Structure 1
């Protein structure tokens, strides 16, 4: 089991996206605010595999869940 501390950067790497701070900020700015009625994993800008990864991470309360929740909070503002 991977017990390393995940960050937004490692989450974006896992999702196959640019993971530097500027790229993350640009992504959040471009796709925010995410309406409350849309779960983060159901947002239209994810690929099917990205959506599945996010959904699985949250449903299984994996070690990714905390950082996915952090991204979700950022996307709501």
Structure 2
């Protein structure tokens, strides 16, 4: 096999696999009651902190956690809508 036929075969294989990968990730939905891995918990904390939540701000605790929760939920809904 020469180099061009290998590239063509790789491109064909890639175009066949990409929709399967996207379909698999789109089928996964966010379930807050499901057990989480350590990496998922760290990613959730990073998302909350990016939304403005400060775990050390105990004075404004309920308000800042609720606001960050709304922002994270909106971002997840927006990213789920853009995947479809």
Report the TM-score when normalising by structure 1: 0.29
As a proportion of its length, which structure holds more helix? 2
Larger radius of gyration: 2
- Relative contact order: is structure 1 or structure 2 higher (C-alpha 8 Å, sep ≥ 6)? 1
**Normalising by structure 2, what TM-score?**
0.28
